[in-house]
Structure 1
Amino acid sequence: MIERPVVFVAGERATWTPKSCVGEVRNALQHGEFYEVPNGEHLVNCEDPDAIIEIIQKSLTKYVKEKSDTRTSELIDRKKYNELFDENYSKLAAEFFERKSKI
């Protein structure tokens, strides 16, 4: 059994993650969450990055609330977080598409 928190994400149409395996993995996760991205395939992080970001935000928010006596608003300045996220996401996206165009 996996005892650490796990976020398991699969694309609804993924062939690399057969439906039979999804059930087995879900059952092995004592402290896990499962998300299925509609119409997603194997590379859901590239196919639907907004869905992945939403999943990550939900999971982290839930984890922080469960594990901390400190209010979430005291942990991060939301405006600063959003600015840093936008800046870094833009850089990563630009690098990804630059590499992809060279293939």
Structure 2
Amino acid sequence: MANTQASLAIAALGDLTRRKIFERLARGPSPVGELASTMAVTRPAVSQHLRILKEAGLVIETAQGTRRIYRLDRRGISAIHAWLDERWSEALNAAGSTLEQEF
């Protein structure tokens, strides 16, 4: 499951606009309107990008009156982190094996 979550999250961040939204939300929660005001895309486009980020487990939304406030979801970030840790461990083990063979 973690690999699936990480794959979805990494794929979602492959889009530059979604990465910019993600980076903006890393600085703090925001409603769609505020996010859209800082982007070169329309508010509906920002909403679509947020939907993809939400489906990938990278953002969550909460209702605040009539507004939806978006923030990063630690679970999606943790899945990416775990996936990267696995790849890093594999790379270190491979490097260690290579060094042992050479000496």
Q: Calculate the TM-score normalised by the size of structure 2.
A: 0.29
More helix by share: 2
Asked which structure has the greater RCO (Cα within 8 Å, sep 6+), the reply is 2
